[in-house]
Structure 1
Amino acid sequence: MARDKIKFGLRISPETQKLVRDLYPRDNCQSQNEFIEKAIQFYAGYVSGQEAVDYLPPALVSAIRGTLQGSEDRIARLLFKLTVETSMMMNVLAFAADINTEQLDALRARCIKDVKKTNGTISFKDAVEFQKENPQ
């Protein structure tokens, strides 16, 4: 890989020079110059707002991905269980209820409207009150 050779008058404090000397082997760099170039590229990416994942340590990215995947799996299992219980409840109610298709369609439309309006915060008390106000 050809590199442009531009002379920079870099002045680095003795403390920073020692830091570079101590750390460049730990980053598997072949030279202090390579370490400094990587550090500049890392910081330039950070400042320019590029993809944050590129600048997080791989172990941290892996841990975050694992945590998110675990949460996603748990939510999927809980949603499955909830759906099974809801299906059971609907079947028991359908067996006991005397409701025709038109009433069911009207109820579905009202429930959709209510869920959208309340962002899903429907209570059983609200449903009971509605049914008392609107007997079938």
Structure 2
Amino acid sequence: MSGNADKTKFSVRVDTELLELADQYIADATVQSRTELIEDALRFYLGFLTSKKAEDYLLQSLSSVIMGTVQDSENRLARMDFKLAVELSKLCHVISYTHDVDEDDLHKLHLKCLDEVKRINGAIDFESAYKYQKRET
């Protein structure tokens, strides 16, 4: 504790009930005086305010870093999706050019593939498609 020379005297107006509660803590010997109680409370609250500012700053910084990481990942995935779509388009054109498939069969194939992708939740398995085409399943 600081000596009296380092202290400033001032008056404070507080609710009577709050002061009675404070006096109970003094009577229970949690602190020695109202001055000590007020000093402890003030230190605690100022520490809380300081940590709150630090917490807000850290949360903003962390949020910014996370958003940047998510955006970078999203951009990489979008570029990869684009590259895959180009390769798939090339594959579709080659197959269409080399195989004679009529529109009705193409429509049936589209519906079958749509149903299959929904059923397997997009986890395409080449071996299963091969066995289906060879009627091994």
Instruction: Write out per-residue CA displacement over residues 27-64 of structure 1, whole angstroms, 9 at most, x where no aligned residue.
Output: xxxxxxxx38x95xx9xxxxxxxxxxx79621111001
Deviation at 1:17, TM superposition (A): 1.4
Partner Cα distance (1:79, 1:68) in 2: 16
Partner Cα distance (2:61, 2:131) in 1: 53
The DSSP-based 3-state class of the residue aligned with 2:134 is: helix
Aligned AA (1:64): I
1:17 paired residue number: 43
RMSD: 3.6
Partner Cα distance (1:120, 1:14) in 2: 62
2:124 paired residue number: 122
Larger Rg: 2
Deviation at 1:16, TM superposition (A): 7.8
Number of matched residues? Answer: 104
Unmatched tracts of structure 2, length 5 or more: 1-12, 23-36
Deviation at 1:18, TM superposition (A): 6.5
Q: Indicate how the Cα distance of structure 1 residues 19 and 90 shifts in structure 2: closer, same or farther if over 3 A, else same.
A: same
The DSSP-based 3-state class of the residue aligned with 1:106 is: helix
1:71 paired residue number: 73
2:108 to 106, 109, 119: 106
TM-score after normalising by structure 2 = 0.61
Deviation at 1:127, TM superposition (A): 1.1
Partner Cα distance (1:12, 1:70) in 2: 51
What percent of counterpart residues are identical? 34
Unmatched tracts of structure 1, length 5 or more: 25-34, 43-53
Q: Indicate how the Cα distance of structure 1 residues 6 and 15 shifts in structure 2: closer, same or farther if over 3 A, else same.
A: closer
Deviation at 1:107, TM superposition (A): 0.5
